[in-house]
Amino acid sequence: MAIRKYLVQQIGQNKGAPRIYMETQFLALAGFVPGAAYNRKVDDGKIVLRLDDYGQYRVSRKERGGKVFPVIDINSKEALSALDGLKAVRLVIQDGVISAMPIASEANARRRLRRLRENLSRGQLVSASLSHGGGILDNAAHHGLADAGIEAQMAFANEIDDDLMEHSRGRNEVWGAGSMGLAAPMQEAVQDEWLMQRIPQVDVLAVGIPCSGASRAGASKRGLDMMESHPEVGHLAASFLMVVQRTQPAVVVVECVKEYQQTASAQIIRQHLRDSGYSVNEVILNGKEFGVLENRTRWFMVAATNGIEVDLAGIAPVCNPVRTVSEVLEEVPLDDPSWRDFQYLKTKAIRDAEKGNGFGMQIVHPTDTSVPVLRKGYHKGGSTDPLLAHPDRDGIYRLFTAKEHARIKQVPEHLIDDMAQGRAHQLLGQSVLYALVKALFRRLGQSLNVWDSELHQGQRSTPVYNLARATG
C-alpha cells in the first residue's frame, strides 16, 4: 500500500480524555473522504483504522477557507488505551488504512527493555565492542558485570587494525565461538548494508571513541581548532550513532579523554541518545581514585534506556592501598642496554625551556606513588614520556617495559602476551585503566539487577519525547 503521509504528532487532551485529531487532505488521497465508513481495532499494540462500507465509524468534515477537509477525531481513553502513557504518536496514512502507533523511539525502547529482561532471565547479556583495539576495555567490562553476577557474551567487535583484532581473538576471553570480528574502518562498516543486516542487536554496546582529535596533544600536533576537524577520527560520532541505531543496545557506554566531553560530537551524541529514549549520565574518573599508579583521567558516558537508573556517584573505593612503582618493576639488570642517558631528550628540554613552552622530562623513581600518563607512542621515548631513574647512576634512565606498563594500568598481562614491546605499548597506551572500567561496569550490572528485580511484566519506560525539540 502506498504511503500518503507519515506524521509524528503530540497526543492531545480534550474533555479529560486523550485525543488524536486528523484534519488533512492526505486523508482523502488515502480514500478517507468525508462520509466514508471505517472500522477501528487494536492490532499488536497499535490502533488501525480500515475503510469498510459497513464500518461503525464515519469520516467527518470541516470547511475552512472555502475548502472541505476530511476529519478523523478520536477522543476516548478507551479507544486510545493501546497508546496509554504516550505523549506522541506515529500516524501512517496509507491507501485504505491508517495506523496509530507508538513513535519509533518509544517502540525501540520497549523492545530494548523486553530483550534485556529476557536475556537477564537467561543469565547472559549480549555485548558488542567498537574501536575494540586489544579488547582491554571489554575484558574489564565483562569482568565488572561478572562481579555483579551477570555473564556477557560478545556478539561482535569492530576494529580498524586487523593485527590487534587477531591478537585479541587469540588471548582475550571475551571472544566466544560465535563472536564476529569486523576488521574495517567504522565509517566503512556502517555503509555496508549487507553487513549491517547481519550484525545482531545487543544489550550493551561499549566504545572507546578514538581521542586523537580531542586530546590536547593530538589537537596541538595538528593545529586543530576543533576536534571534528581531525581528518581520520573527527567524524566517528556519526558512524557510532549509526551502529547504535542498528544494534539498539539497552545500554551504551562511551569512553574518551575528558576534553571530548566539551566537543560538538559529544553534544550530538548525548542529545541524539536522549531523543532515542535513553537517559544519559556522565562521570570523570581518575586512576588515583582507584589505587592505579597511572595518573590518567577519563570521561565516561553511560546512556541507559529510560526506566533503568544508573547512579554513577561514588564508584571509586572509599580507600585504596598506597602502591609504589617498585611493586610493578621487572628484574632488569642494572647494566642492561635499556638504561641510557637519553641525551636527545636532555638537549630538547633545554631548548624547550628557552622557548618557555613548558615541556620537560618526567622522571619516575621506584618510591613514587604515581606515574604520568603512558601514551600510545610511549615506546618512542618522547620528550614528556615518563622515564624510570637508574637506582645508582644519576642521569641514566630507561623506559618501562610492556609488562610494567600493563601493571601500571592494572591490565591483565595475558592480554599482551607474545606482543613486541612497541606494539604492546601502543595497545596499552590507547587503552583504559582496567580498574576504572571494571568498577563502572560492576555498578552498571548492579543497576541492571535492581531494575530487573523491581520491574514487573508490562511496565513501560518513561516517555520523554518532546515534539518541540524537533520542530523548534
> What does the block give as the cell for 378?
610511549
Q: Is 100 exposed, middle or buried (0-12, 13-18, 19+ CB in 10 A)?
A: buried
Chain centroid, CA 296 distance in Å: 20
Q: What is the mean pLDDT of residues 337-352?
A: 92
3-state secondary structure of 342: coil
3-state secondary structure of 440: helix
CA 12 to CA 68: how far, in whole Å?
A: 23
**Straight-line distance from the first to the last Cα atom of the chain, in angstroms, rounded to the nearest whole number:** 32
- Evaluate if residue 116 carries a pLDDT over 80: yes
DSSP line for 71-103: EEEE--TTTTGGGTT-SEEEEEEETTEEEEEE-
- Evaluate if residue 358 carries a pLDDT over 90: no
Which band of pLDDT confidence, cut at 50, 70 and 90, is reported for residue 233? confident
Pick the catalytic residue from 211, 303, 435, 439: 211
> What does the block give as the cell for 428?
596499552
For the chain, the structural domain boundaries read: 3-102, 107-321+428-454, 331-400
- Evaluate if residue 460 carries a pLDDT over 80: no
> What does the block give as the cell for 365?
623513581
Question: Are residues 152 and 206 in contact, defined by beta-carbon separation less than 8 angstroms?
Answer: no
CA 87 to CA 12: how far, in whole Å?
A: 8
Q: Comparing 466 with 333, which gets the higher pLDDT?
A: 333
Cα–Cα distances in angstroms (integers) from residue 189 to residues 25, 177, 196, 206, 213, in the given order: 42, 22, 8, 17, 21
Residue 320 is predicted with a pLDDT of: 86
Q: What is the mean pLDDT of residues 19-39?
A: 97
CA 32 to CA 136: how far, in whole Å?
A: 58
Cα–Cα distances in angstroms (integers) from residue 367 to residues 324, 328, 358, 360, 363, in the given order: 6, 11, 25, 21, 12
Q: Is 211 a catalytic residue?
A: yes
Q: How many CB atoms within 10 Å of residue 81?
A: 12
Which band of pLDDT confidence, cut at 50, 70 and 90, is reported for residue 442? very high
Which band of pLDDT confidence, cut at 50, 70 and 90, is reported for residue 229? confident
Please write the tens of the pLDDT for every residue from 235-254.
899 999 999 999 999 999 99
Q: Is 172 exposed, middle or buried (0-12, 13-18, 19+ CB in 10 A)?
A: buried
The proportion of the chain whose per-residue pLDDT surpasses 90, expressed as a percent, equals 84
Helix (H) or strand (E) holding 232: none
Please write the tens of the pLDDT for every residue from 361-416.
999 999 999 999 999 999 999 999 999 999 999 999 999 999 999 999 999 999 99
Chain centroid, CA 241 distance in Å: 8
CA 141 to CA 129: how far, in whole Å?
A: 10
Cα–Cα distances in angstroms (integers) from residue 236 to residues 97, 211, 466, in the given order: 40, 10, 27
The class level of CATH for 107-321+428-454 reads alpha beta
CA 24 to CA 448: how far, in whole Å?
A: 45
Residue 218 is predicted with a pLDDT of: 60
Beta strands in 337-394 (DSSP E): 362-364, 386-389
Q: How many CB atoms within 10 Å of residue 229?
A: 13
Please write the tens of the pLDDT for every residue from 162-215.
999 999 999 999 999 999 999 999 999 999 999 999 999 999 999 999 876 566
Residue 352 is predicted with a pLDDT of: 82
